[in-house]
Structure formats: C-alpha cells, structure tokens
Amino acid sequence: MENNMDIIALTSVIIVLFIVFIIATVRELNTTSPTKFVGKEEGGPRAEMMRFIGKLFSDDRIDAGKKITFMNAVKPIIEDLPPEEEIKKE
C-alpha cells in the first residue's frame, strides 16, 4: 500500500503541473493572438548577397569595368543558390 501512495502522489503532482502548463499556454496564446505579426525585411544568404551587390553597384568610387568583372564572377554563385521557398520547406 505504501508503494501505491508514492505512485499516486507522484502522478497527482505531474497532473497538476501539466494542467498549470496548459492554462499558462492558453493564457499566453490569448494575450498574443490579437496582436498582428509584423514581418521583417527578407533574410537569408540570397537576400544578404543581393544587398551587398546593390551597395557595391551604388558606390560611384568603383569603376564600371570592375563592377562587370565582379558581377560575372558572382553570377554562377547566385544561380547555384536554392530559392528561398526550398530553404523554408526544409
């Protein structure tokens, strides 16, 4: 009988903690559900590379020949990057 009391006490503590967890989760979801999600600007390796290239090409201190050479070197790398949709699916 003494072993059963230990199991009953432990089970009741776990059940109470589980119920408290569920109540806290429901309360948190109810308080955050009215707020709208504000998206940030696009991230990831492709977006960062495009921002970097855009900054390079907007810089007037770099001559056009070097910009074209750089673009020809980077073009295969950009084409090899997987689309953002494939990255998000994985």
9, with CB counted inside 10 A (0-12, 13-18, 19+), is: exposed
Look at 44 and 6; give whichever has higher pLDDT: 6
Per-residue pLDDT tens digits for 25-46: 999 888 877 777 676 777 777 7
Structure letter (DSSP) for residue 38: -
For residue 70, pLDDT over 80 is answered with yes
User: Which has the higher per-residue pLDDT, 17 or 58?
Assistant: 17
Domains of the chain: which residue ranges?
Answer: 1-39, 45-89
pLDDT at 13 over 90: yes
Out of 30-44, 51-65, 71-85, give the one with best mean pLDDT: 51-65
Query: pTM score > 0.85 for this model?
Result: no
> CA angle at residue 75 from 56 to 41, to 5 degrees?
55
